[in-house]
Amino acid sequence: MNLTVEQAQGRVPVTILSLQGDLDASNYQQIIARGRELYAAGTRHLLLDMSGTSFMSSSGLVALHSLALLMRGESPPDPEAGWRAIRAVGEEVSEGQPANVKLLKPQPQVDRVLERSGLKQFFEVHTDREAAIAAF
């Protein structure tokens, strides 16, 4: 997984985290760790560019949920907790979309995983970068 970070300015400063490669059990903790670093550096509005991610496993769902919690200043569930972390994702979905994390251009297979898991309703999804930045 290759991660790149850039900054953009909309109504508020937006950090764009671009993912290149599959998001799965081999690297989801890397995404969470990067989210912690970004939050510690002052990021509060995160646009997750998923245009370069063609596959996402359930571990990826945990990573996305964890990023949303981190950007709200909350601690995510321990990813080693297994199914407890997945259940926490399901419980959070019922509370609505996080205003501080949005997704950009998830690829079809990733979009299906988001849809089937119910997590798509949790995130605001955009296909246009400028519109996504302006949405914060």
pLDDT averaged over every residue in the chain: 89
Q: What is the pLDDT of residue 85?
A: 55
> Within 13 A of 61's CA, how many CA atoms are on the CB side?
27
Determine if the pTM surpasses 0.75.
Answer: yes
Query: What are the chain's domains?
Result: 2-134 (3.30.750.24)
Q: What angle do CA 93, 65, 67 make, to 5 degrees?
A: 140
CA 22 from chain center: how many Å?
A: 14
pLDDT tier, 88 (very low <50, low <70, confident <90, very high otherwise): low
pLDDT digits (tens, 9 = 90+) for 49-60: 999 999 999 889
Cβ atoms of residues 51 and 84 within 8 Å: no
